[in-house]
Copies of this chain bind each other. A is one copy, B any other.
């Protein structure tokens, strides 16, 4: 955590931020967040993240008392005060303290700056493993703080040397716990369209590869793919070479994935220079 955060209408010491434990973001897990990063002091794709955060608030009936320009201004100030050259920024809006301990009320906005934890270089070069889990997220398209299940699962996936999970249900795949997924078969790129969060990195990949088919994808199809990668703010484009104990393609990072990884680096440079 970086020294300064935004809380209660002003910038304060991060360690002094606090909230009452009866807020329903705590006792009912009802809150929204978003997370983006700075690259060379530039908040990457900020406008998209702010739009999504504002949309999440509206969809969860939470009262975000700050406009998009106001949020952007606070974020700019936080980046300066925290000297955040390359870091993460977390926006959090809580459900508030509620009379019946259930219904949303007036919550609080917090914005924290963090060190970034990228996967190791080795993972980008060799690819990583996903563990398949039968599950479908409720209201997956809203960026709620509801990650109790993957946190609980993480003990298991770590024990099995997996990086994360791939959710599938009724034979169809959706997403990883905090990433979107893409598959490549015979040169064609595809990504699922249901029960997913619409990731900002996913959106960028769709710009880099506009021919991508956005469609339902079965678990069987996933296993028979030539290449797989996942996308997220902190993972960027991360190759998958194993699903459970099943080797994907040759078991090496594929050429289309490599090209997209390089293109994404260029895209990021373009946005930050």
List A residues at the B interface (Cβ < 8 Å): 1, 7, 15, 17-31, 33, 60-61, 90, 92, 94-95, 100-104, 108, 110, 112, 114, 117, 135, 138-139, 142, 144-149, 151-152, 154-155
Give A149 to B138 CA distance when docked, in angstroms: 7
- A22 proximity list for chain B (CB < 8 A): 1, 17, 112
Count identical subunits in the complex. Answer: 2
- A100 proximity list for chain B (CB < 8 A): 117
Q: Which 7 pairs from chain A and chain B are nearest by CB?
A: A29-B29, A18-B18, A146-B148, A28-B147, A138-B149, A30-B151, A29-B145
A15-B20, A102-B147 are known; give 13 further A-B pairs, CB within 8 A: A18-B20, A19-B21, A24-B151, A26-B31, A26-B94, A27-B92, A28-B147, A29-B147, A30-B148, A90-B101, A138-B148, A145-B148, A146-B149
- Report A180 CB to chain B, min CB distance, Å: 18
